[in-house]
Amino acid sequence: MPSLTDLASHFGGEVVGNGNVAIDAVASLSEAKAGQLSFYELSLPKEVLLESKAAAVLLKKEVAADCPLPMWVVSKPRLYFAQVAKALNAKPARFAASITGISSKAFVADGADIHKSAAIAPLAVVEAGAKIAADVFIGGNAVVGGNAVVGEGSVIFPGTVLYPNVIVGKRCIIHAGAILGSDGFGFVADEKGRQVKIPQLGGLILGDDVEIGANSTIDRGALAETKIGDGVKIDNLVQIAHNVHIGDNTVICGCTGVAGSAVIGKNCMIGGAVKILGHIVVGDNVMITFSSNITKNIPAGESVSSCMPAMPIARWRRFVASLSD
């Protein structure tokens, strides 16, 4: 078990106080017990710090006064906390915790290729030709379609569906109920107004270290691929339409929708409930604030918004009246 000093010498930063305390887990200041590292930021009430039973606390120099605990002084407490948590393998309890190998209650088709270190939970389905790499977990009632690929170390939570041929990279986390590779939404009206389906024949490729939130949906491409870059993080109930490309390390918060063939750059921060029109190009390092509508291309590095903030109803009525002139 590492000491506080061990951790600081590995990750950087300065120890103030007793560096010999052993650290084997992370926790919030209010929940932490012996052996657990917490972090403190100005947004938290000072009492939480003063009364904490944590073994030690990550914080910035400027808030270190009066701290009764062993301190690990760093520039970015939350980043250090996340990195230590990862190093200590801090995770919530997992599904089917005792499962190793292929459950006899799973359905694995002949011709599926399952690495011997992968775990397939009861009532999961893996279809023919699917390739499940080392250390993958496939949860209960998940369905992995034919010839789909799940890369090393990825976790597919219960109830997710991977359509045939979908490719998921390494160390991805696909939360429950996410649907990967469904048909894009492509129709064209005939002379009688009936909508004729344009076949959705393309693929879906997720890079490495991608996380997809619960009940989010990502469509396969119409004729070419939908592509999600390495390190992309997508929250719950997000819709990504066909042919979209998302650059590496871009973050997309919940309830956002990206319409077909949009291209989004690297390292973007996209707030919740953002709506991006089809065929739009969003450059690298763009920030889009929550509940904005993107109707034209955004140059790299720009920050944009169109969130209409709520106000008392009487005031709002005057604004709406001004629209009807």
- Active centre residues (catalytic): 242
- Which of 140, 151, 229, 265 contacts a second copy by CB under 8 A? 140
Does 297 engage in binding with a second copy (CB under 8 A)? no
Q: What is the per-residue DSSP string for 66-119?
A: T--S-EEE-S-HHHHHHHHHHHTT--PPPTTTT--SB-TTSEE-TT-EE-TT-E
Site mask, a second copy, residues 52-81, x = CB under 8 A?
------------------------x-xx-x
Does 294 engage in binding with a second copy (CB under 8 A)? yes
Give the angle 236-237-239 at the CA atoms, nearest 5°: 120
Does 107 engage in binding with a second copy (CB under 8 A)? yes
- Which of 26, 56, 73, 136 contacts a second copy by CB under 8 A? 26
Instruction: Find the part of the chain contacting a second copy (CB under 8 A) among 14-22, 53-61, 66-74, 310-318.
Output: 310-318
Does 125 engage in binding with a second copy (CB under 8 A)? yes
Does 113 engage in binding with a second copy (CB under 8 A)? no
Kindly state the helix (H) or strand (E) to which residue 16 belongs, with its residue range. Answer: strand 14-16
Q: Is 13 or 202 the residue whose CB approaches a second copy more closely?
A: 202
Q: How many CB atoms lie under 10 A from the CB of residue 63?
A: 18
Cα 220 to Cα 204, 237, 296, distances in angstroms:
5, 17, 24
Residues 193-232 that bind a second copy (CB under 8 A): 193-202, 209, 211, 213-217, 219-220, 222-224, 231
Q: Is 101 or 199 the residue whose CB approaches a second copy more closely?
A: 199
**196 burial type by CB count under 10 A (0-12 exposed, 13-18 middle, 19+ buried):** exposed
Instruction: Find the part of the chain contacting a second copy (CB under 8 A) among 14-22, 49-57, 60-68, 305-313.
Output: 305-313
Order of strands across the sheet with 155-156? 119-120, 137-138, 155-156, 173-174, 211-212, 233-234, 251-252, 269-270, 287-288
Residues 263-282 that bind a second copy (CB under 8 A): 266-267, 272-273, 275, 277, 279
Does 97 engage in binding with a second copy (CB under 8 A)? yes
Does 288 engage in binding with a second copy (CB under 8 A)? yes
**Nearest CA-CA partner of 205 in 223, 219, 184:** 219
